[in-house]
Amino acid sequence: MKLPEEHRREVRFWRKDTQDFPGQETDILRGIEGRIDGTREVTLHELGCSRGKNLKAIRKRYKNVRVSGNDVSVWAFRESVRDPLMDSTVIQEDTVEFLVRQPDGAFDYVLTSAHLEHISNSVDGILQEHIPRVVKRKLFILEPDSVGDKYGDGKHHKFGREYRGFFPGMEVEDVLPSKHADHYSFFVFRKTGR
């Protein structure tokens, strides 16, 4: 699949750079509390997992969750591999390319945290088709909660989206404001079966 140049430009940028969102794992753990099936082994994949600190926090709290992630950043991938406490599978791959090659219902849960905002709007159709397709149960996203906010340094926080109604076949179950970052909310989506 040939991806738009705007998206490929962003991928080239993020291969060399990454950033962590202080406090995001606390927002994520608060948001998923009571929403993950604790009675059997389940899978959770984080799109744009950076060096995997969210995955480690989830794995520490939920022993029955098999976590995995992908990130395009070479640095983040190397850091996750070097971490002796990291017991999850992290691969270095662009999110869009990763999504299109996954089978239907590949993961019980999918998570993104301050990641979709860095993916060009030129691939929105691909995100809308493939994210709901790979999710079996719920989608968790911690992303900016309004379109077109002008904040940050211009290098980061580029692509706004209105997430309510963005993912076909998924409906918003809950929205929690971030306790650690202005303009961010934790969205919980559930499959509607449509």
Q: Which residue has the tokens 């950076």?
A: 50
Model confidence at 34, in pLDDT bands (50, 70, 90)? very high
Q: Which residue has the tokens 């409906």?
A: 171
Nearest to 143 by CA among 108, 178, 92: 178
Within 13 Å, how many C-alpha atoms sit on residue 123's CB side? 26
**Which of 90 and 171 is assigned the larger pLDDT?**
171
pTM, 2 dp: 0.86
Is residue 118 scored above 50 in pLDDT? yes
pLDDT (0 to 100) of residue 128: 97
- The partner residues of 68 in beta bridges, in order of sequence, read 45, 89
Contacts of 193 (CB under 8 A, 6+ apart): 169
pLDDT (0 to 100) of residue 145: 72
Contacts of 65 (CB under 8 A, 6+ apart): 36, 41, 42, 43, 44, 58, 59, 109
Tokens of 1: 């699949």
pLDDT (0 to 100) of residue 150: 44
Please say whether the beta carbons of 18 and 50 come within 8 A.
Answer: yes
φ, ψ (nearest 5 deg) of residue 5? -60, -40
Cα distances from 10 to residues 3, 68, 115, 149, 150, in angstroms, run 11, 23, 12, 19, 18
pLDDT (0 to 100) of residue 180: 79
157: left (phi over 0), alpha (psi -120 to 50) or beta: left
pLDDT (0 to 100) of residue 183: 80
CA distance 100 to 184: 27
Going by their DSSP bridges, the two strands 170-177 and 135-144 should be labelled as: unpaired
End-to-end distance of the chain based on CA atoms, in angstroms?
Answer: 26
Domains of the chain, first to last: 5-191 (3.40.50.150)
**Which of 11 and 111 is assigned the larger pLDDT?**
111
| pLDDT > 90 fraction of the chain, expressed in percent and rounded | 43
pLDDT (0 to 100) of residue 56: 86
| C-alpha Rg value of the chain to the nearest Å | 15
Q: Name which of 49-58, 109-118, 129-138, 163-172 the model is least confident about.
A: 49-58
